[in-house]
């Protein structure tokens, strides 16, 4: 079998971001941690860590991390039947989309995480990068809008988020007072999450518009809403997130007939054990995603 | 003088994320855009773009981008006195910390951005990376907690954000019911923004605690608050952001005597012209930062 002391050292170095901190966490000296990493690299015949520009795992190191994460999950299950085995909380690295994290995610997983003593390492990624990190073994699960399955992983549909093109009422009067047409779409500043954000393009295509448009880039869900509230532009915002603002009339749709539905899929390694199953069940029953879908 | 048609092509490729989209934006064919980039690279004797893993500017390309951004800002000023020169909105790339973007940023800059017809490319970075991108000329300005100045740039103090260690009341009873001590700090799950987040460490140091602690990693301001509201942990949250939650009793401080003040500094290139000055003034008068500081 693999020497798990070595893998644990690797996981702890990556998690804490340094050899000294890993030593503290493991109750070892810094040089003992370095020695374990060196031993692992000699056995593998290749590096498991790169030191610059930031400390991170090599592709081989990431595969080891994914493996050790899965083993830790299985150990959690085991510890339930053999309480004497109980360890400190298991860590689970999960990639997810920013809008889920900004809205319903924590409410859906909070109870099960606390009950299972899970600690989450959340990384915010768009779907292409999230799924790539999944394939590379860098994350144990990925929540995104792509149903494209990853070899060795399961993919389940967990619900739908509804997006509307929202802006401040005075902004709508200023730019869309004469209706939604080529001229207004060409001149009204939009807010876009990032260069790969497809929602704004999908909305414009629904309107039959394929030209260019001025836009702000704002890679933050909450910042996105704040830009709209400051009258800086209109943008595709989850109804879940803007509920209170819509109710209070602070944000209105520039085109109430145009909403976009985004399906969300949960990808996770098959061998995640009972903890992963219970986390998956909690996500699937996240009522908030169904009531608004 | 530099051929600005070439620099404009470079800026548009980077901004739109592709040659085809840049062509659409500039009213050129894709091959005409490629030809301009090639011409620029031949004149420079080095590449200005790298194509993989994602399309982005080389260090030399970034210096050109910074230059063209500054020229565009100066042109905005000129266009005010010679309206016939008016161009579509100027773009301004700004690095800032996630918590500012999630709270007061947009309200402070919304009016001036709209009046000046500015479009913002916001990038969320911690201070070290934000200042590095500033030095590399990749951003025109950087809002962060470091007063360390960048050669050629000005640095002004614009206010203070106050952070408190917040959690759900039942969480506080569960983990800190017997007070804040070594045992409780060692076992209570914390929420940390990322491996480089210093706030949690500063809070623990204030409490005289230097050991390890279980924690979730959550690189999203709004997600951070949601995790706390879901009872998953406690974390350092800006009072600005949690105001309503604190008022309603949904979040409380685990240690009311311990708050942390974080000063914010605005770094910007000296030659940004009047637009940059007016943006800076808007930030300096952001009342919300002073009333809570």
From first to last of its 293 residues, what are the pLDDT tens digits of chain A? 677 788 889 998 988 888 988 887 787 888 889 999 998 888 888 889 998 778 889 888 888 887 777 777 777 666 666 654 445 567 788 999 999 999 999 999 999 998 888 889 999 988 778 888 888 777 889 999 999 988 888 999 999 999 999 999 999 999 999 999 999 999 999 999 987 778 999 999 999 998 888 899 999 999 999 999 999 999 999 999 999 999 999 999 999 999 999 999 999 987 767 888 899 999 998 866 765 43
pLDDT for B78: 65
Query: How far apart are the CA of A260 and the nearest CA of chain B, in angstroms?
Result: 23
**Fold category of A1-88 in CATH:** Arc Repressor Mutant, subunit A (1.10.10)
Q: How many CB pairs under 8 A join A and B?
A: 135
Hey, where are the domains in chain A?
Answer: 1-88, 161-261
- CATH number for the A161-261 domain, one of 3.40.50.2000, 3.40.50.970, 3.40.1710.10, 3.40.190.10? 3.40.190.10
Which of B119, B215, B232 has its CB closest to that of A215?
B119
Whether the predicted interface score ipTM is above 0.90: no
Strand partners, B159: B264
Contacts of B230 in chain A (CB under 8 A): 106-107, 109-111
Contacts of B211 in chain A (CB under 8 A): 24
Contacts of B217 in chain A (CB under 8 A): 120-123
- Say how far apart CA B151 and CA B161 lie, in whole Å: 26
Helix H, strand E, coil C: the string for B183-248 is HHHHHCCEEECCCCCCHHHHHHHHCCCCCCCCEEECCCHHHHHHHHHCCCCEEEEEHHHHHHHHHC
CATH of domain B161-262: 3.40.190.10
pLDDT for B85: 46
Which of A106, A110, A223 has its CB closest to that of B102?
A223
- Say how far apart CA B88 and CA B15 lie, in whole Å: 15
Task: Inspect the interface and report whether the beta carbons of A216 and B189 lie closer than 8 Å.
Answer: no
Per-residue DSSP letter, B103: T
pLDDT (tens digit, 9 = 90+) per residue, B219-265?
999 999 999 999 999 999 999 999 999 999 999 999 999 999 999 99
pLDDT for A17: 85
Task: Inspect the interface and report whether the beta carbons of A113 and B232 lie closer than 8 Å.
Answer: yes
Higher pLDDT, B224 or B75: B224
Contacts of A105 in chain B (CB under 8 A): 223, 226
Task: Inspect the interface and report whether the beta carbons of A25 and B232 lie closer than 8 Å.
Answer: no
Which of A107, A114, A119 has its CB closest to that of B226?
A107
Which of A196, A212, A230 has its CB closest to that of B106?
A230
* Structure tokens belonging to residue B261: 């003040």
CB A110 within 8 A of CB B232: yes
Contacts of A211 in chain B (CB under 8 A): 24
Mean pLDDT for B11-38 is: 86
Higher pLDDT, B25 or A249: A249
């Amino acid at each position: 079998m693999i020497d798990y002391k070595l893998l644990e050292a690797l996981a702890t170095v990556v998690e804490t971001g340094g050899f000294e901190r890993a030593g503290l966490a493991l109750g070892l000296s810094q040089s003992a941690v370095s020695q374990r990493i060196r031993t692992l690299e000699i056995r593998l015949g290749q590096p498991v860590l790169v030191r610059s520009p930031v400390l991170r795992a090599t592709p081989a190191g990431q595969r080891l991390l994914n493996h050790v994460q899965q083993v830790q999950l299985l150990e959690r299950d085991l510890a339930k039947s053999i309480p004497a085995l109980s360890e400190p909380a298991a860590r689970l690295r999960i990639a997810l989309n920013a809008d889920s994290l900004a809205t319903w995610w924590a409410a859906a997983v909070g109870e099960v995480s606390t009950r299972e003593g899970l600690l989450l390492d959340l990384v915010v990624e768009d779907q292409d990068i999230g799924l790539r990190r999944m394939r590379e073994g860098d994350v144990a699960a990925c929540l995104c809008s792509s149903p494209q399955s990853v070899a060795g992983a399961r993919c389940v549909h967990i619900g739908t988020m509804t997006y509307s093109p929202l802006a401040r009422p005075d902004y709508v009067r200023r730019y869309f007072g004469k209706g939604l047409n080529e001229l207004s779409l060409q001149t009204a500043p939009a807010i876009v999450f990032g260069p790969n954000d497809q929602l704004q393009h999908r909305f414009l295509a629904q309107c039959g518009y394929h030209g260019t448009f001025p836009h702000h880039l704002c890679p933050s869900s909450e910042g996105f809403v704040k830009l709209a509230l400051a009258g800086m532009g209109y943008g595709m915002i989850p109804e879940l997130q803007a509920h209170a603002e819509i109710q209070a009339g602070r944000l209105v749709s520039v085109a109430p007939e145009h909403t976009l539905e985004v399906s969300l899929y949960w990808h996770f390694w098959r061998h995640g054990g009972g903890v992963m199953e219970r986390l998956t069940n909690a996500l699937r029953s996240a009522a908030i995603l169904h009531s608004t879908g």
